Amino acid sequence: MAWTIRLSTGAKKTLRKLDKAAAKRITAYLRENIEGSIDPCKYGKALKGELGELWRYRVGDYRIICRMEEEIVEVLVLRVGHRKDVYRNKS
């Protein structure tokens, strides 16, 4: 079964704030590699520690943090950001 993609409100907001070239690369990556994929996990890497239930995808210097919603076959994009600060807690 093919997976779909859903972006959280925060991820959409961050994508709008990024420069157009970076946002275009990230959305193209999601559309070409993840959406419709049989196994989206093969493109990413599972996180460890406190973020252990999440996955990340790497697009240049940017990271896409996702949760795999296996019951509904959906990749929920939670956070998009530069690698230097995407893993930090937003308080």
Give the CATH number for residue 35.
Answer: 3.30.2310.20
Per-residue confidence (pLDDT) for residue 90, from 0 to 100: 61
Expressed as residue numbers, the domain containing 40 is 4-82
**Region 61-86: what's the mean pLDDT?**
90
Identify whether 35 is part of a domain: yes
Identify whether 50 is part of a domain: yes
Tell me the per-residue pLDDT of 15-41, one tens digit each, with 9 for 90 and over.
999 999 999 999 999 999 999 889 999
Residue whose C-alpha is closest to residue 51's, from 41, 68, 65, 64: 65
Per the structure, how many domains does the chain have?
1
Identify whether 89 is part of a domain: no
Identify whether 26 is part of a domain: yes
